[in-house]
A and B are shown apart, each in its own frame.
Chain A
Amino acid sequence: MEHIRTPKVEHVSLIDRASPRKPCVGTLYLTASHSIFVEHDAERHRETWVLHSLVCLVEKLPTTPAGCPLLLRCRNFQVFQFIIPQEKDCQDVHASLTRLSRPERYAELYCFSFNPNTDKEAREEGWSAIDLQAEYRRMGLPNHLWQLTMANRDYRVCDTYPSDLYVPKSVTTPIVVGSSKFRSRGRFPTLTYYHRDNHATICRSSQPLSGFSARCLEDEQMLQAITSSNPGSSFMYVVDTRPKLNAMANRAAGKGYENEDNYSNIRFQFLGIENIHVMRSSQQKMFEVCDLRSPTMTDFLWGLENSGWLKHIKAILDAGVFIARAVAEEGVSVLVHCSDGWDRTAQACSVASLLLDPFYRTLKGLMVLIERDWVSFGHKFSHRYGHLDGDPREVSPVMDQFLECVWQLSLQFPCAFEYNERFLLHLHEQIHSCQFGNFLGNSQKEREELRVRERTHSVWAHLWMNRADYINPLYRPDHSQTQGVLRPATAPYCFKFWRGMYCRSEQVHQRPPTVTDVLTTVREESQQLEAELSAQQEVPRGTAHPASEQENGDFGKDAYDERHSQDEHSE
């Protein structure tokens, strides 16, 4: 509370961008966690809550006769413009919000004070709901080819990896340790996805410390072991997701990429995804386009092209498609890395998994996928999304791009995803807002040190509780589009500008209902009718609607695993 200079300002106007001439007048309150704007209009009494941790920029604009305009830009791309009558008040609010929106210590983050009305038991249940060991079991591990290694217990070998990792059965701890010494930050090759149908796998790591000529026997043994644990193929792909030039530049620093001559039975491939700095500036340029006042079509299309954003999205999706094709169609295992293996690698692996396995296209499946490929494998959430006031060069929209890839895929396969656009948008917001502890810190180890499981709540339980809002009405578990591997087209014209995400501020304006909204309402009504009918008599035939199943679905893993295996049977 010590940062709040003025807890309450009266007669503040909130400007709606869609109709700037008709501002709402009300009172602005500053609390420890939120700015709250309460409209004076007795009829509507609308409240607007803005979480401090979602605010990325507080800007004072030049004073006008109406007062001092204050602009709040949020990390979920919402923009709020207030007009505060008194200069002094505006200064105070500006100073308070600037400080509040830039926490310096983890302890200041909202998740440590957020306290929904749930008991301790429910909270613990929420944390155990997504269980990665269950996920590896779901994929069929451990088995005669892959085993759980103890090498990274207590994060001894790699402090940015999870402690439980899968390696080929023949790989011993000395091989793991040796290989990890030859990889940036000790991130040795380890399994992330196992394709049950043909034993092909996706493994991930960081770049090798090969420089121009260095070799490492254990690393070579590790890759050979990965190749050998796929009985269906005599070689494996090693995919470097970086552009070739970047990878070559790294060689000068003693890092680099695998030399095909040193590793037996690998095929090496660059995939050309740009680094976090390029992505950050690309997104910035795209926002400038969204910010234009009444742009022409040319302004918009030229700006979109110039930002390069869709080009990067395409590169990521192309990478995912390459990996998925290798695994599903060629039956070849793939090792994926970039530099450190926590940004582009996470993107490529998770997009590929999404294409390969229908489970990740369910609500729970996407949670599991994010928990596995991003949270557990040490994607640096706090750095990338600027949770704490820190180095702006560490910030980059890596996860935004992954979520956008999912959205782009959902356009091509409207019936294949159980979740809707709103789920992706809310996930995005949660990643930035720190209302829950899941995305705190930069690794599993850090989260353990912060004791997030004891001190904060899990976002997955929260999202699951509200799952009715996130269901895609067109999804049916038994639909042919839902089954098997997705093979998206990636011609440039398949990629659309994600208006729902990047033009958030215009949505304040009333928009006609979308097809999804309408179908969701119709399906809810159908469920009520079903209930009414079943209360009176038998339900008519053909009622196998997924929504009614979900109504009773519980968050426990069993319910979901069962459903997934049902899908497989129906194939």
Chain B
Amino acid sequence: MEFAELIKTPRVDGVVLHRPFMPTVEGTLCLTGHHLILSSRQDNTEELWLLHSNIDYIEKRFVGSLGTIIVKCKDLRIIQLDIPGMEECLNIASSIEALSTLDSVSLMYPFFYRPMFEVVEDGWNMFLPEEAFKEIETLTDEWRLSSVNKDFGVCPTYPQLVAVPKAVDDDTLRKVATFRHGGRFPVLSYYHKKNGMVMMRAGQPLTGTNGRRCKEDEKLINATLRPGKRGYIIDTRAINVAQQAKARGGGFEQEASYPQWRRIHKAIERYNILQESLIKLVEACNDQSQSMDRWLSKLEASNWQTHVKEIVTTACLAAQCIDREGASVLVHGTEGTDSTLQVTSLAQIILDPCCRTMRGFQSLVEREWLQAGHPFQQRCAQSAYSNSKARLEAPVFLLFLDCVWQVLRQFPCSFQFNEHFLVLLFEHAYASQFGTFLGNNAAERLKLKLPQKTVSLWSWVNRPQEMERFLNPLYEPNNLVIWPSVAPQSLLLWEGVFLRWNRSSKCLDEAYDEMVHIIEYNKELQSKVNALRRQLAQLETGDGLLETP
């Protein structure tokens, strides 16, 4: 297919662009296969380069022959284009609509993007499962890397290599896979160095209404327990939801079959409930009303903050079982691709200082989201403005990032990266020039040949000149487990995402720069003092007498 077919009018002059907190720009609007570009043809005015895939929804309005297109983006920004000429406006609008909803993944921009920088370290090879497992191998010999899923036949949404208990062979894994939703048999998610306890994740067991059992499943998860120890199963669904799942062939681990495990149900919402919540929240944030009652009531009715609280609470529970109770944990919901991953990844942020570093966090996203088979393409196809009915869309990853932000805010010195990095991941999960978040699982990514045909987000982010923006100046490595507060007053609205386009960030940015300045000035002084001390020491020993200026 040629993009040119979709572009009815490639350029229009005299278009006026309105953006929040930026001066109005007049210029020429150009449509390319992947971008909407506005150029004022003046060197000093900032131009607009908007990916079509970032466009969530557009609205058209006409006053006489002046048309207006309101472009609502997946990153929640709203911009307005005033286009002279009704025909031009209609053409532009229908072109944008077509180009922003391309069906085929291989037509997406990452397949066409050529980096303007030299890829020094290829992000596609930075976080391979075998590399990640090497470290665990140095700590324990109870786990092995299995290639039972080499051809994605056992579990279509797992990667080719997964970590499982050494005592369990591949045949057993195949049997267990038939007993777990989507073939997602329990695999290692996290190994807690401090006490050797582990966190596993899986799909729901397919017990059905007649309470089917699977000896191999029981054997597998029991193999992770120490003699005489009990473990915890955290089911991310409320008990009644888990009960209802039985009717559809799903279910949960019965006490009788898993006597060494204690099951705890938490109620993390999924799918359209989350999507609706996001839509309501963004609607509340864009409400121009001056009424405080209206704002608070809309914020409450969106339930977004409730989801955040529930996820952080569940992650704390998992972390507590592992670190405080010294027990191993198995986490699952229904498919094991959404709320399960929110919990396992956030628990690792709490437990493992490595996950709070720049590299470690990327590795966590890679392991617990991308390789673990979170269906990014389905979940992030639409954002808060699209009015087409959501089917598989849900802001699961955004909620996870929100939770990380909450912990970061409560422990401002314990993270090597800053809020901007989390916002960046949100943006790129929804629209990107990089291939990282394309596809729904490892099998799809392999088929699309993403590593060969696209550039990884990590290749770009880890370049020193880019990374600098995402480093937290306050970072002091903290080897402790960090326990966030889950009280409602401790969990705030993530303004960096949800109010980003509604309020000027100038003063907050200035405060950030001031903070950087204070810390850098301190470092400068420190190095001066150190140099001076060395000089003095040299003088005292008499060696440096001749060298000093």
Q: Which residue of B lies closest to A314 (CB)?
A: B292
Closest CB-CB distance, A183 to chain B, in whole Å? 32
How long is the Cα–Cα vector from A547 to B489 in the complex, in angstroms?
A: 32
Is A217 interfacial (CB-CB < 8 Å)? Answer: no
* Contact status of A301 and B300, CB under 8 A, knowing A414-B507, A491-B290, A512-B411: yes
Please tell me if the beta carbons of A522 and B295 are within 8 angstroms of each other in the complex.
no
Closest CB in chain B relative to A541 CB, distance in Å: 10
Report if A476 contacts B (CB, 8 A). yes
CB distance from A468 to the nearest CB of B (A): 16
CB of B452 within 8 A of chain A?
no
Report B384-419 CB contacts with A as 1/0, cut-off 8 Å.
000000000000000000000000001111100000
Please pick, from A499, A515, A525, A542, the residue contacting B515 in the complex, using a CB distance under 8 A.
A515
Contact B529 A412 (CB under 8 A): no
Let me know if B524 is at the binding interface, CB within 8 A. yes
Of all chain A residues, the one with the shortest Cβ separation from B412 is: A515
Q: A526–B521 contact, CB under 8 A?
A: yes
Would A536 and B489 be within 8 Å (CB), given that A481-B507, A512-B482 are in contact?
no
A214 CB within 8 Å of chain B: no
Within 8 Å of chain B (Cβ to Cβ): is A565?
no
A474 touches B515 (CB 8 A): yes
Stretch of B31-39, B119-127, B498-506 at the chain-chain interface: B498-506
Q: Is the CB of A479 within 8 A of B521?
A: no
Instruction: Give A521 to B487 CA distance when docked, in angstroms.
Output: 28
Tell which of A290, A294, A515 has the most Cβ of chain B within 10 Å: A515
A389 to chain B, nearest CB (A): 32
Option from A311, A481, A526 in Cβ contact (under 8 Å) with B525? A526
Q: Which of A299, A492, A532, A540 contacts B292 (CB 8 A)?
A: A492
Report the minimal beta-carbon distance from A497 to chain B, rounded to whole angstroms: 6
Q: Looking at the complex, which one of A305, A494, A542 makes contact with B503 (CB distance below 8 Å)?
A: A494
What are the residues of chain A within 8 A of B526 when measuring CB–CB? 529
Q: Is A392 an interface residue (CB 8 A)?
A: no
Q: Does A19 contact B (CB under 8 A)?
A: no
Interface residues of B in 524-549 (CB under 8 A from A): 524-526, 528-529, 532, 536
- B354 contacts the other chain (Cβ, under 8 Å)? no
Question: CB < 8 Å: which of B414, B511, B518 contacts A522?
Answer: B518
Contact of A245 with B by CB under 8 A: no
Contact assessment for A305 and B290 in the assembled complex, using a CB-CB cutoff below 8 Å: no
Contact of B489 among A296, A414, A499, A537 (CB under 8 A): A499
Q: What is the interface size of chain B, counting residues whose CB is below 8 A from a CB of the partner?
A: 54
Interchain nearest-CB distance for B475 vs A (Å): 11
Report how many residues on chain A are interfacial, defined by Cβ distance under 8 Å.
58
A300 to B486, CA, bound (A): 12
Cross-chain contact B522 with A529 (CB below 8 angstroms): yes
* Pair B295/A519 contact, Cβ less than 8 Å: no
| Known interface pairs A476-B514, A518-B412, A526-B525; A300-B489 also in contact (CB < 8 Å) | yes
Asked whether A297 and B491 contact (CB < 8 A) given A304-B296, A305-B296, A519-B518, the answer is yes
**For residue A294, which residue of chain B has the nearest CB?**
B487
State whether B504 touches A489 (Cβ < 8 A): yes
Q: Which residues of A contact B502 (CB under 8 A)?
A: 491, 493
Determine if B514 and A479 form an interchain contact, defined as CB atoms under 8 angstroms apart: yes
Query: What's the least CB distance linking B483 to chain A, in Å?
Result: 9
Q: Is the CB of B515 within 8 A of A492?
A: no
- Asked if A503 is an interface residue, CB under 8 A from chain B, the answer is yes
B480: shortest Cβ distance to chain A, in Å? 10
Nearest residue (CB) in A for B292 is: A311
Q: Which of A311, A491, A540 contacts B293 (CB 8 A)?
A: A311
Instruction: Produce 1/0 per residue, B282-312, CB < 8 A to A.
Output: 0001001111111111011001011011000
Min CB distance B198 to A, Å, is: 27
Is residue B479 contacting chain A, with contact meaning CB distance below 8 A? no
Given A526-B522, A536-B532, A545-B521: A503 in contact with B300 (beta carbons within 8 A): no
CA distance A519 to B516 in the complex (A): 10
With both beta carbons as reference points, the residue of chain A lying nearest to B524 in the complex is identified as: A540
Please pick, from B410, B489, B507, the residue contacting A512 in the complex, using a CB distance under 8 A.
B410
The answer to whether B514 touches A297, judged by C-beta atoms less than 8 angstroms apart, is: no
Contact partner, A492, options B291, B488, B489, B521, Cβ 8 Å: B291
Q: Does A533 contact B (CB under 8 A)?
A: yes
Whether the Cβ atoms of A412 and B507 lie closer than 8 Å is yes
Q: How far is the CA of A512 from the CA of B406 in the complex (A)?
A: 13
Distance A495 CA – B474 CA, assembled complex (angstroms): 26
Q: Is B116 an interface residue (CB 8 A)?
A: no
Query: Is B412 in contact with A512, judged by CB distance below 8 angstroms?
Result: yes
Interface residues of B in 411-470 (CB under 8 A from A): 411-414
Give B484's nearest chain A residue, CB to CB: A512
Q: Contact mask A275-302 → B, CB, 8 Å, 1/0?
A: 0000000000000001000111111111
Which one of B292, B414, B508, B528 lies within 8 Å of A310 (CB-CB)?
A: B292
Distance, CA A474 to CA B296, complexed state (A): 30
List of A residues within 8 angstroms of B511 by Cβ: 414-415, 474, 481
Given A299-B488, A311-B293, A526-B518, also A481-B510 (CB < 8 A): yes
Query: B493 contacts the other chain (Cβ, under 8 Å)?
Result: yes
Of B294, B296, B490, B514, the residue contacting A301 (CB under 8 A) is: B296
Q: What chain A residues lie within 8 Å of B522 (beta carbons)?
A: 522-523, 525-526, 529
A515 to chain B: closest residue by CB:
B412
**Residues of the B chain whose Cβ atoms lie less than 8 Å from the Cβ of A296:** 306, 309, 488
Instruction: Report whether B525 and A492 are in contact in the complex, using a CB–CB cutoff of 8 Å.
Output: no
Contact B488 A495 (CB under 8 A): no
B492 close to chain A: CB less than 8 A: yes
Residues of the B chain whose Cβ atoms lie less than 8 Å from the Cβ of A561: none
Q: Which residues of A contact B296 (CB under 8 A)?
A: 301, 304-305, 310, 492
Q: Which residues in window 252-308 of B have CB below 8 A to A?
A: 285, 288-297, 299-300, 303, 305-306, 308
Specify which chain B residues have a CB less than 8 angstroms from the CB of A494 in the assembled complex. Answer: 503
Any chain B CB within 8 A of the CB of A437?
A: no
Tell me, in angstroms, the Cα distance from A301 to B300 when the chains sit together: 6
Q: A301-B296, A519-B515, A526-B525 are in contact. Are A493 and B499 (CB under 8 A)?
A: yes
Nearest A residue (CB) for B492: A496
Tell me if A302 and B507 are in contact (CB < 8 A): no
* Distance A305 CA – B297 CA, assembled complex (angstroms): 7
* Nearest chain A CB to B211 CB, angstrom units: 33
* CB-based nearest B residue for A300: B488
Q: Of A297, A311, A522, A537, which contacts B305 at CB under 8 A?
A: A297
A495 and B292 contact, CB distance less than 8 A: yes
- For window 250-291 of A, CB contacts with B under 8 Å fall at 290
- Tell me, in angstroms, the Cα distance from A523 to B495 when the chains sit together: 28
Q: Is A480 on the interface with B (CB-CB < 8 A)?
A: yes
Residue pair B493, A493 in contact (C-beta under 8 Å):
yes
Is B98 engaged at the interface, CB distance under 8 Å to the other chain? no
Closest to A547 in B: B518
B519 on the A face (CB < 8 A)? yes
CB contacts (< 8 Å) of A302 on chain B: these are 297, 300
Q: B487 to A506, Cβ gap below 8 A?
A: yes
Are the CB atoms of A530 and B525 closer together than 8 Å?
A: yes
Q: Which residue of B lies closest to A497 (CB)?
A: B489
**Docked CA distance A542–B499 (Å):** 35
Q: For B299, what are the chain A residues with a Cβ–Cβ distance below 8 Å?
A: 301, 493
A514 beta carbon closer than 8 Å to chain B: yes
Q: C-beta contact mask, A59-77 vs B, less than 8 Å → 1, else 0?
A: 0000000000000000000
User: How far is the CB of A395 from the nearest CB of chain B, in Å?
Assistant: 24
Please give, as numbers and ranges, the residues of chain A lying within 8 Å of B291 by CB-CB distance: 311, 492
What is the CB-to-nearest-CB distance from A422 to chain B, in angstroms, rounded to a whole number? 17
7 extra A-B contacts, CB within 8 A, seeds A480-B510, A515-B412: A297-B306, A301-B299, A414-B507, A415-B507, A529-B529, A533-B528, A540-B525
Q: Name the 9 nearest CB pairs between A and B, nearest first.
A: A300-B488, A492-B295, A414-B511, A305-B296, A301-B300, A311-B292, A529-B525, A297-B306, A492-B292
| Sample of 27 A–B contacts (CB below 8 Å) | A296-B309, A297-B308, A298-B306, A300-B489, A301-B300, A301-B488, A302-B297, A304-B296, A305-B292, A305-B300, A311-B291, A414-B508, A414-B511, A415-B507, A415-B511, A476-B514, A479-B510, A479-B514, A481-B511, A491-B288, A491-B502, A495-B292, A512-B413, A513-B412, A525-B522, A529-B522, A537-B532
